[in-house]
Amino acid sequence: MAHKTVVTWTEDLAFDVELDGHHFMVDADEKFGGRNRGPKPKGLLLSALAGCTGMDVASMLTKMKMPFDKFAMEVQGELADEHPKCYTDIVIRYLFWGKELDRDKIEKSVNLSVDKYCAVHYMLSKAATLRHEIVLNPS
């Protein structure tokens, strides 16, 4: 299976992105000549990571019949000081809310995702140090 995206320049530093029938815009900050009309491409890597691992975890927890009221992820990436200014360290925080949370099942699903199933995690781990933490019922 292959994926294809078509990215078309619109004006300044803005591009229309078409991916699997979905459209969105990417743009640069005003200080770099853009107009900040969409997310920056580098940041989308962090969103892709969260989406990929999140889908794995939600799917596995559903199969394990482990209920949760809410599930979110915070992903933070630190950039290198020198060009090409790629991410050097990335931390994924898995946040779960619920009354019947089973830490063992959550840890198993997160570990399977980051160690085996999430291709975005695998690809980014070739360029950066990735770590994760699990937080149950954060305030």
Write down the pLDDT at residue 125.
Answer: 97
Cα separations in angstroms, 28 against 8, 32, 33, 86 = 15, 6, 7, 16
pLDDT digits (tens, 9 = 90+) for 79-132: 999 999 999 999 999 999 999 999 999 999 999 999 999 999 999 999 999 999
Write down the pLDDT at residue 72.
Answer: 98
- Average of per-residue pLDDT values in the chain: 97
Residues 103, 95: Cα–Cα separation, whole Å: 12
3-state percent helix, strand, coil for the chain, nearest multiple of 5: 35, 35, 30
What are the start-end ranges of the H helices in the chain? 41-63, 103-112, 119-124
Instruction: Give the tokens for residue 91.
Output: 């931390």
Q: Taking 90 as the threshold, does the pLDDT of residue 32 lie above it?
A: yes
Write down the pLDDT at residue 139.
Answer: 83
For the segment 28-51, the average pLDDT, to the nearest whole number, is 96
Report which of residues 68 and 139 the model is more confident about.
68
Residues 133, 114: Cα–Cα separation, whole Å: 12
